[in-house]
Structure 1
């Protein structure tokens, strides 16, 4: 029974099943190590993922391709989200403009408060003036007309 290996080629980002004889160095599974694997007449950098019979490696190949598709979809979705979020980060000139807008907004809020307070005072003063005017008219109406003395 000849042994095969499931490998991941870095250059093409593809999985493949190759015979152990196609691996240049002593085959060992390691998360960090890369090795050279013959594909056609050339050697390429690859990551060794699994050793076993050809049938077993091909089963794992199907699984690896499915997992890779899911992972790459989520990777690109995350990458797009990050680039979109990065695009939302304002540049220094934009931050300066936003700061000035905030300051102007704060000034407008304060000025609006001052104007509203003054309008309330004026309205209150006008009501008091109208009440005093009504009272004065009532007092004048109650007073008997003063006759002028003729000299």
Structure 2
């Protein structure tokens, strides 16, 4: 994908990865008042933890939730998928770095896939493990990378920094 092109599919891929492999399992909240959840009432003073990994497997919001389908974040089904999408939390405690994280993931994926061809060493699903408060790939996560030739046009002029231009000669 060239710079400036629509990256809606790439963003859908990132969201689908985060849906299937959230970085954190959930986010706890100390209840300052009772919470009614269906037929249950959870008293004030208790901690409620919405489990993102379980919410992201809800078949009403995500039909065939075990399948990797970025298209669920595009078109007609996108609104239902987005409503239950919680890898960055939600409401007033939504992650302040969410937009930066999404941008970083899109840039890195675009650059890596433009330079190498990745193949899983083992096609079986990879196990997750906890590392501090986040979920990370299992210890034996391996990918085979084959370098792709760079298809970049030569620069028409020497690159210059707009902030700190070189002194005139």
User: Normalised by the size of structure 1, how large is the TM-score?
Assistant: 0.26
Name the structure with the higher helix share.
1
Question: Whose relative contact order is higher, 1 or 2, with alpha carbons under 8 Å and at least 6 apart?
Answer: 2
Q: Which has the larger radius of gyration?
A: 1
- With normalisation by structure 2, the TM-score equals 0.24
